[in-house]
Amino acid sequence: MDKSRVKLKVDNISQSYVVGDEVLDAILNVSFDVYDNEFLVILGPGNCGKTVLLNVIGGLEKPTGGKLYLDGEEIVGSDKRISMVFQELALMPWKTVMENVEFGLQIEGVDKKTRREIAQKYIDLVQLTGFEKSYPSQLSGGMKQRVGIARAYTSNPEILLMDEPFGQLDAQTRYSMQEEIQKIWQQEKRTILFVTNNIEEAIYLGDRIILMSKSPGKIKEIYDIDLPRPRNSMDPEFLAIRKEVSENTDLAL
Amino acid sequence: MSVSDPNHLNESEYVESVRRERKRSQYQSAILSVIGILGFLILWQLSLVTGLVNSRFLSSPIEVVSLFITKLTDPRPDGAVIGANIVSSLIVALSGFGLAIVIGIPLGLLMGWYKGIDSFLRPIFEIIRPIPPVSWIPLTIVWVGIGLQAKAMIVFFAAFVPCLINSYTGIRQTREVLINVAKTFGASDFTTFLKVGIPYSMTMTFAGVKVAIGNAWATLVAAEMLAASSGLGYMILMGRQFGRVDLVILGIAVIGLIGTLITIIINAVENKILGWRKL
């Protein structure tokens, strides 16, 4: 992480929805900087607007207020330099692993040979070599999410948004995927914004943690996690941070 | 040894025994199906032989088969050999059905994806939808006579509705998150329609195509019985006029068999295109 270089500037972003006769604020005046090659975790209870924030950054929703700057330039809507890993296992069931991974490049109009080469590199990186021709229904939950990660990497983004990517995995697979994503990130440095509601996951992965309060979603606290990697969740320092963050977190109902 | 079982078979023997077991069960169900059909035919034949049913009202399966063989070369009494009747009916059914696919499916997909097109066309469609296809018969006779076009048009009306409804419903069910995947990669709405919406809708669309071919084939006979000079429906109608029960039954049997054949072909095509579903 290079604290001197701001990669993404989130400036006073608000998002609200009209529900019935009322205006409901999902997130309110959220501002923070994301540094280059940082692993930034956005942590918060359910319904605190984490996903909304990520959707706004990913250009899937137009915010009601505020601006986004990537490398100092304002961005509006979805941007090729930002890629997303989704909460649900958002794979096309009719496409093979290879076809899913190369999807982004196909949209960009990259020729088949080139995109196969690039996709293969990331399939190898997420350790799915040999499964290129399998369909998603033939894969386990962890493998499906690896495909999702490979797909996001393949379009060579500068920022990766990950929306609770391991939320639907069983505990064991989740731990191994956390290690995996850390390794991948260390091999292929990118700026990652990782949303989770799991405190341990946040402390295990994050360079920094942005803790959000709920309804409307606001930034409550930003923690710098200076523990060496890979981290040990039994380490006293880890546990101390965990206690601190945990006590500061709003309860989700 | 990776497989443990009481008989201490090694792995390849075990695989072999499971395979044999599966084959035997397939074989058994095939035998049962054949017995079912044969039993039905025997009962049918017996009911006539024993005099349980008057042969003026029903001909026996043997008579029907022998008539089929005769009709292969003899155009009497309806004026065409059976092959010509089958071809004539197939041409009508397939042209109406083909037209329904070519028009119905794209229209359904566009209506399902683009809200504007939906609002514009849906009211008209909702009014046309409940009209029974055969009620178009008199009008089509006035418009285009009793030729191929008229019959194809009636078949079209019957097959068009399920094609449109299913592709429409199918594409509207496209998972939001898959659309978002395409969006984050910078896909335009039209590209998303092509690459995500259409493939997603294919399962439903195919179900619609199956209903459509059934409807097409069923309506064809109705159309031919009212306005035609050849075809299986026409042959059935002539059978009635000449008091030839065997001719009527032959027509019905051939329609049933061809319908089954078409279903088999459609299923094969579906397995080819939607093979990923079975995995």
Find which of A85, A100, A107 to mutate to test the B interface (most B CBs within 10 Å of its CB).
A107
- Which domain range does residue B22 map to? 1-55
More confident residue, A162 or B141: A162
- Rounded to 5 degrees, φ, ψ at B55 are -70, -5
Express as a percent the part of chain B with pLDDT over 70.
96
Question: Residue A224 is encoded by which pair of tokens?
Answer: 């710098």
B35 and B67 part of one domain: no
**What interface predicted TM-score (ipTM) does this complex get?**
0.85
Q: How many CB pairs under 8 A join A and B?
A: 66
Q: Distances from the Cα of B31 to the Cαs of B21, B42, B43, B62, B113, in angstroms? A: 15, 16, 18, 22, 48
Token couple for B167: 């592709």
Is there a contact between B63 and B253 (Cβ–Cβ < 8 Å)?
A: no
Model pLDDT, residue B278: 66
CA B197 to chain centre: 25
Mean pLDDT in order along chain A per 10 residues (253 residues): 82 90 88 93 86 91 91 88 87 94 92 93 90 91 90 91 88 88 88 92 92 85 88 88 86 60
**Type of residue found at A6:** V
pLDDT tens digits for B144-169?
877 788 888 889 989 999 999 999 99
Same domain flag for B147 and B226: yes
Instruction: Kindly tell me if the per-residue pLDDT of B48 is higher than 60.
Output: yes
The yes-or-no verdict on residue B267 having pLDDT over 60 is yes
How far is the C-alpha of A167 from the C-alpha of A84, rounded, in Å? 15
Q: What total number of domains does chain B contain?
A: 2
Domain match, B41 and B173 both: no
> What's the pLDDT score for residue B77?
82
Are A60 and B202 an interchain contact pair (Cβ–Cβ within 8 Å)?
no
- Look at A107 and B276 and tell me if their CB atoms are within 8 Å: no
| B96 and B227 share one domain | yes
CB contact under 8 A, B184 and A88: no
Residues B45, B84, single domain; the answer is no
Strand order in the sheet with A218-224: A82-85, A159-163, A191-196, A39-43, A208-213, A218-224
Same domain, yes or no, for B24 and B143? no
On whether both B134 and B170 belong to a single domain, the answer is yes
Q: Looking at the complex, does the CB of residue B173 fall below 8 Å from at least one CB of chain A?
A: no
**Residue B69 in this model has a pLDDT that exceeds 50:** yes
- Residue B204 contacts A, CB cutoff 8 Å: no
Single out the residue in B26, B55, B84 at which a domain terminates.
B55
Q: Is the pLDDT of residue B1 over 50?
A: no
Q: Given this model, what pLDDT does residue A1 score?
A: 63
pLDDT of residue A19: 87
B5 plus B126 within the same structural domain: no
Clarify whether residues B25 and B136 are in a common domain: no
Residue B44 φ then ψ, to 5°? -60, -50
Give the per-residue pLDDT at B2: 47
Q: Are residues B65 and B182 in the same domain?
A: yes
- pLDDT bucket at B135, cuts 50 / 70 / 90: confident
B7 lies in the same domain as B109? no
**Same domain, yes or no: B31 and B80:** no
Phi, psi of A185 (to 5 degrees): -65, -35
Which of the listed residues B21, B39, B55 is the one where a domain comes to its end? B55
Other CB atoms within a 10 A radius of the CB of residue A91 amount to: 26
Using a CB–CB cut-off of 8 Å, the residues of A that contact B are: 55, 58-60, 78-80, 82-84, 86-88, 90, 92-94, 103-104, 106-108, 135, 137-138, 151, 155
Tokens of B75: 């155009």
CA distance A90 to chain B (A): 6
The sign of the dihedral angle between the CA atoms of A175, A176, A182, A188 is negative
Q: Give B167-220 pLDDT, tens digit per residue.
A: 999 999 999 999 999 998 888 999 999 999 999 999 999 999 999 988 888 888
Nearest to B254 by CA among B244, B265, B262: B262
Q: What is the CATH number of the domain that holds B174?
A: 1.10.3720.10
pLDDT at residue number A68: 93
Assess whether pLDDT exceeds 80 at residue B98.
yes
